[in-house]
Chains A and B, each alone.
Chain A
Amino acid sequence: MIKAFLIAIPLLISQNILSSDTLYYSMLRKNIDLTYKDYKLENYRQLANCSERILLVYKNEWIPYYYRAYAYINMAFIEVNESNKEMYCDKAQELIDEAFKIKPDESEIYVLQSMLYFARMSISPMINGPLYLPKAASALNDAEKLDPGNPRIYYLKGKSTMNTPKFFGGGKEAAIPIFEKALNVYSRFKPKSIVHPSWGEEDALRLYNECKAELSEKNPDKLTDKP
């Protein structure tokens, strides 16, 4: 009988510890999946709220800060009202600063920082483009120095190249090799846990196909050489 209790007590305790941990992981994962399913403001809002609750309890983890910032950055892209866009960007910057305090050498946070600069550029690009494009590029370079195996670096580089006018060395054709590299790195990438950043592969593939489609329209011969 006593023996049975001795087994039961640790079981109960371990169940409690495990459940709180898996609760955070599974709760976050559920909200991340929601944003993958539909690119909607509401879903990112839920992810932001869920991460906010987690980061207030798990104060020393960078991941909840990361996802709250990630959610606000995406909301800044979706939102049309400029002052709201700006509000989301400012909040995301605060969270990124906090995440850096916890883990200063995390390549993923640099990628997120770069993404935030792109979001800022979407607010009056004529003015903010020259201001933030060099910063975005340098954040991606920092991310690459820390972890060249992070595929999101090449996905964002490809996307940026694709949207840069051909005149300045950008364009869809120039983006193809970068997306190829991104897809290659994605295929070898394994996230460290179910909540570590893992986004971007589908988008990279979609944009890669978009670039390829335009190239084949323009130069049908050029493509036949390539496998």
Chain B
Amino acid sequence: MTKFIITSIFLVLQLSSLLCQTTLKGTIQTGKNQPVIGANIYFKGTIEGTNSDEQGNFLLSTDLTGDMTMVVSCIGYKTHEEPVKLQNDTIELLIILPENDVELKEIVVYAGTFEAGDKKKSVVLNKLDMATNPVGFGDALSVLRTLPGTSNAGDEGGLFVRGGEQNETKTIIDGLMVESPYTAKMPNVPVRGRFSPMLFRGTVFSTGGYSAEYGQALSSVLILNSIDTPEKDEAGLSLFMSGANFSGTRKWEKSSLSASTQYVNLSPTYSNNGSGYAKGIDLFYRDSKSIKNGDFWISYSFINSRRNYKDYNFSHPPFFLSTHNLSVVYKHRISKPDSYISTGYEFSSGRPYINPNISLIEIQRTKSYNNLSLSIFHFTRLFGKFTMIYAQVGNILGSENIFGYRYADHPDEYGVYESEPVLPVSRRSYLIGLFVSFTGKPEM
């Protein structure tokens, strides 16, 4: 008899847990009515729970009773808590999970506008894109010319954004403003950025509105973030036909110092009491999926700007500004041997200039600028060091590109101002280069 009672107590206890069940069923959705797949639905403080299916639906039966908190969590979303009263019935729920703010850390060039807190960014180019770009000749800042909103000023180099000059784009590296990001300027020789594209892993380029933090910038902001703190001492050597650049990074426990052997002092000291405006449209398209091993982007920008500054006599478009700018870049990856072939085409409509022989208050335009370039990059190892060998040909078609005209200050005896066109250093350019990354020890 005793045994019977005990057994029945056990049975009742076990049965009660089977009979008294609450069922929760429902759907988990994003704010845009899309199902959240694989969300974790459970009661706080217990390990009882389930997952949402491909349609965002879930079904959870429990023998728990009373007031409980149901938690819905899913990676990439904010966690939601819902108080539920469990009393042996069925509860139906529709839960909206807000998405987490996406914060991209490791990726590399962002273009677009800043939103509050610079949280939302769209990825455009990465480090390798910068290094292997046929247009930029391995120069980090020139590569950005293939992004919309920029002007192609082949005679001066550097970054010209929306009617602004190079020095009106503020370059910020790891939170510090760089006063002179470019090499020293020589007449008609394009300047280059002083920093290796391999140095950066996070680059933000904004041609749109930007936060008050960057108040000094006139036309745009370029934010570069170097590779956290480098893992070890690094040294880089670039060799190209016209010169060499050596840069090194020394790492200490908590800090690092990067240096490169080029001294530049660009301190523009003209007064600027002018006025001006710029308006335009940017289009950008990138596709790295449709073509196998291929990756291309097309960028177009229309910029209309008038300024009255420097020694301008009246308000007109700045001399470096083309109204229409188009660039197309295509890269193809070859796995054996490990290489990239890339080709780029740049088109810019004619640039403004003033011909004093015609009128001092009228703008003339040069013919349009065309540049088709091709480059081959091969990755290898030399003495255990990561090495990039590259060969580039600029302006394959040999188009005659004129950036503008330079006129004599005074007319000659016939009353004519003599002129000469401003041309690229050479019509067709060739570059063969080697990039070696020296590190503390071989990495393989």
Q: Which residues of A contact B (CB under 8 A)?
A: 1, 4-5, 8, 12, 23-24, 27, 41-42, 45-46, 48-50, 52-54, 56-57, 72, 82-84, 86-88, 90-91, 123-124, 126-128, 130-131, 133-134, 164, 167-170
Closest to A23 in B: B47
Question: With the chains together, A76 CA to B146 CA distance in Å?
Answer: 32
8 A-B pairs with C-beta separation under 8 A: A1-B2, A5-B6, A48-B75, A49-B40, A49-B49, A49-B51, A126-B379, A127-B201
In the complex, which residues of chain A have a beta carbon less than 8 angstroms from the beta carbon of B2?
1, 4
Interface status of B104 (Cβ within 8 A of chain A): yes
Q: Is the CB of A57 within 8 A of B47?
A: yes
Q: Is the CB of B13 within 8 A of A52?
A: no
Interface 1/0 per residue, B24-50 and A, CB below 8 Å: 000000000000011110100111110
Question: With the chains together, A24 CA to B48 CA distance in Å?
Answer: 10
Closest to B39 in A: A49
Q: Is the CB of A126 within 8 A of B128?
A: yes
Q: Is the CB of B381 within 8 A of A167?
A: yes
Q: Is the CB of B126 within 8 A of A127?
A: yes
Q: Is the CB of B76 within 8 A of A4?
A: no
Q: Is the CB of B46 within 8 A of A57?
A: yes
Question: With the chains together, A203 CA to B437 CA distance in Å?
Answer: 36
Closest to B47 in A: A53
In the complex, which residues of chain B have a beta carbon less than 8 angstroms from the beta carbon of A128?
106
In the complex, which residues of chain B have a beta carbon less than 8 angstroms from the beta carbon of A170?
444
In the complex, which residues of chain A have a beta carbon less than 8 angstroms from the beta carbon of B106?
86, 123, 128
Interface size counted on chain B using CB atoms at 8 A: 40
Q: Is the CB of B379 within 8 A of A27?
A: no
Q: Kindly identify, within residues 388 to 444 of chain B, every residue whose CB is under 8 Å from any CB belonging to chain A.
A: 437, 439, 443-444
Interface status of B3 (Cβ within 8 A of chain A): yes
Q: Is the CB of A133 within 8 A of B49?
A: no
Closest to A27 in B: B47
Q: Is the CB of B105 within 8 A of A130?
A: no
Shortest distance from the beta carbon of B32 to any chain A beta carbon, whole Å: 17
Closest to A2 in B: B2
Q: Is the CB of B47 within 8 A of A54?
A: yes
Are A134 and B51 CB-contacts (below 8 A) given A42-B38, A49-B38, A88-B75?
no
In the complex, which residues of chain B have a beta carbon less than 8 angstroms from the beta carbon of A91?
75
Question: With the chains together, A53 CA to B50 CA distance in Å?
Answer: 10
Question: With the chains together, A86 CA to B123 CA distance in Å?
Answer: 13
Closest to B230 in A: A131
Closest to A170 in B: B444
In the complex, which residues of chain B have a beta carbon less than 8 angstroms from the beta carbon of A48?
40, 75
Contact of B381 among A57, A88, A124, A168 (CB under 8 A): A168
Question: With the chains together, A135 CA to B148 CA distance in Å?
Answer: 38
In the complex, which residues of chain A have a beta carbon less than 8 angstroms from the beta carbon of B231?
131, 134
Contact of A133 among B39, B76, B127, B443 (CB under 8 A): B443
In the complex, which residues of chain B have a beta carbon less than 8 angstroms from the beta carbon of A49?
38-40, 49, 51
Max chain A C-beta neighbours (<10 A), residue from B10, B38, B42, B47 = B47
Contact of A4 among B6, B40, B437 (CB under 8 A): B6
Closest to A135 in B: B231
Closest to B102 in A: A83
Interface status of B239 (Cβ within 8 A of chain A): no
Shortest distance from the beta carbon of B350 to any chain A beta carbon, whole Å: 39
Interface status of B309 (Cβ within 8 A of chain A): no
In the complex, which residues of chain B have a beta carbon less than 8 angstroms from the beta carbon of A52?
40, 73
Are A130 and B443 CB-contacts (below 8 A) given A83-B102, A124-B126?
yes
Interface status of B9 (Cβ within 8 A of chain A): yes
Q: Is the CB of A169 within 8 A of B444?
A: yes
